[in-house]
């Protein structure tokens, strides 16, 4: 691809090279970095983030131009079969992170600090983040929680760890928040804004908001100079994020109000599996073209 085709925000920094499936080497789009997200906000542009938990989805989303890939601790309830995000461990996150990092040539790769890996101290947060960056090869970490964590964020940032803050509804605290509930309604709006401002001032490069009223998210976006990302937070944020299985319709059951489903992968995969089963049962697979002589 010609460099002139590179759309913003892939504007600066050395170009990476890609080796295609046929082995050819081409100059590729540049890696999205944290300053490109800030540039997007400053220039009034939006960016898209999706979760990813493995190499192939990371590759597909990366090729589709998704600017940020998140190895969410939502792997716990979207891949591993847990009921909440709480059980997933740092070691497990590192395994998912490695796969995503291997598949992403252009996207900024961000990984969640899982429950139990950072709360005790800034030093613990740094140690866990270093593992995610060294072993999982991610570029930044995301940490749930409000202004209580300003010292964490300041220490992590000083240690060279880019931190994405996550405020509003924080799934790791679902038991203390009383379940999945919109945060920041009425008088509680002020606390969400204060959390975001404090964390941005402490050095967070971005503030993600989950399940907050759209007008509160807009207030946050206006109050911080860093880019914001929303999930169930209206349309005023710089970026948007969805869990990929929700976005692509892999997950069954009722979707949250904030989800827009762009495909029906559950049906596509189910139909493929049924067709394969029928071919195997009838003896038509494997055919001669799939057999060695």
Residue ranges binding ligand KIV (CB under 6 A): 51, 70, 72-74, 112, 208, 210, 231, 241, 243
Residue placing its CB nearer to ligand KIV in the complex, 11 or 261: 261
When the beta carbons of 28 and 108 are compared against ligand KIV, the nearer one is: 108
| Residue whose C-beta lies closest to ligand KIV | 72
d(CA 118, CA 112): 11
State the DSSP H helix or E strand holding residue 242, giving kind and residue range, or none if neither.
Answer: strand 239-242
Q: Cβ of residue 100: shortest distance to ligand KIV, in angstroms?
A: 12
Residue 141 C-beta: closest distance to ligand KIV, Å: 12
Helix 55-63 vs helix 90-103: crossing angle, to nearest 10: 40
Q: Please identify which of the residues 5, 201, 210, 289 carries the catalytic annotation.
A: 210
Whose Cβ is closer to ligand KIV: residue 224's or residue 229's? 229
* 180-213-141-261 Cα dihedral, nearest 10 degrees: 70
Least distance to ligand KIV, CB of residue 171, Å: 7
Structure tokens at 192: 């969400």
Q: Is 289 part of the annotated catalytic residue set? A: no
Return the HEC string of 145-206. Answer: CCHHHHHHHHHHHHCCCCEEEEEECCHHHHHHHCCCCCCCCHHHHHHHHHHHHHHHHHCCCE
CB of 74 to ligand KIV, least distance (A): 3
Query: Which residue, 21 or 83, has its beta carbon nearer to ligand KIV?
Result: 83
Active site residues per annotation: 210
């Amino acid at each position: 691809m010609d460099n002139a085709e590179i759309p913003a925000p892939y504007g600066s920094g050395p170009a990476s090279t890609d080796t295609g499936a046929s082995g050819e080497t081409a100059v590729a789009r540049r890696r999205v970095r944290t300053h490109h997200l800030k540039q997007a906000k400053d220039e009034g542009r939006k960016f898209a983030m999706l979760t990813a938990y493995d190499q192939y989805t990371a590759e597909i989303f990366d090729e589709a131009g998704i600017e940020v890939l998140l190895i969410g601790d939502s792997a716990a309830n979207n891949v591993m079969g847990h009921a909440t995000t709480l059980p997933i461990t740092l070691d497990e996150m590192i395994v998912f992170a490695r796969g995503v990092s291997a598949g992403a040539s252009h996207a900024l790769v961000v990984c969640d600090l899982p429950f139990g890996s950072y709360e005790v101290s800034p030093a613990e947060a740094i140690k866990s983040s270093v593992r995610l960056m060294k072993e999982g090869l991610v570029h930044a970490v995301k940490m749930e929680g409000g202004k209580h964590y300003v010292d964490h964020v300041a220490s992590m940032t000083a240690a060279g760890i880019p931190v994405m803050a996550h405020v509003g509804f924080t799934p790791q605290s679902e038991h203390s928040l009383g379940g999945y509930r919109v945060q920041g309604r009425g008088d509680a709006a002020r606390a969400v804004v204060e959390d975001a401002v404090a964390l941005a001032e402490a050095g967070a490069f971005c503030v993600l908001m989950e399940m907050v009223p759209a007008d509160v998210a807009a207030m946050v976006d206006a109050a911080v100079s860093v880019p914001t990302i929303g999930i169930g937070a209206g349309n005023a944020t710089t970026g948007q994020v969805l869990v990929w299985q929700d976005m692509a319709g892999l997950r069954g059951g009722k979707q949250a109000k904030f989800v827009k489903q762009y495909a029906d992968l559950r049906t596509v995969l189910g139909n493929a599996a049924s067709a394969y089963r029928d071919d195997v049962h009838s003896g038509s697979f494997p055919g001669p073209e799939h057999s060695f002589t």
